[in-house]
Copies of this chain bind each other. A is one copy, B any other.
Amino acid sequence: MPLYFNATIVLVGETMDPVTSDQQVKVYPDVTIQDAPKLDFFFLPGGHGTEAVIANKQLMEHIEERIDESRWCLTVCTGAAILAASGRADGRYMTTNKVAWNKFIEYGPKVKWVKRARWVQDGKYVSSSGVSAGIDMSFYMISALYGEPFAKQFANWIEYTRHTNANVDPFADLYPNNRDAPTGTGALPTATPTSMPPRNPTRSPTPKPTHTN
């Protein structure tokens, strides 16, 4: 069944074996990373498994192929380190989880890490800060691709109070020992460029409501 904007979600695994999340929830892949279709949005989540993924050379090779062929590559939390380790975001602006900051920016010595950002878009790469920042990044993408009225309506349906400004990051100040970007660039004046190309117009801009009265 299509989502309200004709998206198909595909859970990609290293194998078809179920993966147990930190919260003990078993997640069953729909397809292996090797057999994954070309993705419009390739989403790299974070968590405790991040470093094991990066250490797995063959898995990383497949991930890099998927990154290269995807229209957008999005990261949440420490998933940024996977993109960073791929080298694909060298020279680009990214952000990641604030509590794990010092450890995970090591994976991208050539990335221009932005310490104070809810999310950062640089070309096809969109990285978000810790865990729930991924929701705000997703709404940013929905707003950019489908228009702000739809994003707003969507947020109202799920009764979610968004962070709509990528540069407002209430969590950046909690960790004063977090290092600036290794490249020394520090924070961007504007973390999110607005020059995002419009999305393929065959996607329906008209959502179906999740509920009707």
Q: Which residues of A contact B (CB under 8 A)?
A: 1, 3, 8-9, 11, 18, 20, 22-26, 28, 30, 48, 78, 97-103, 129-133, 135, 156-161, 163, 170-171, 174-175, 177, 209-213
> Nearest Cβ distance between residue A180 and chain B, in whole angstroms?
15
Of the residues B22, B28, B78, B99, contact of A26 by C-beta under 8 Å: B28
Question: How distant is the Cα of A171 from the Cα of B155 in the complex, in angstroms?
Answer: 10
A1 cross-chain contacts in B, Cβ below 8 A: 20, 22, 24
CB-contact partner of A103 in B132, B133, B170, B211, under 8 A: B211
Contact indicator A131/B102 (Cβ below 8 Å): no
B99 touching A156, Cβ below 8 Å: yes
Minimum CB–CB distance from A25 to chain B (whole Å) comes to 6
Which residues of B have CB within 8 Å of A23?
Answer: 3, 9
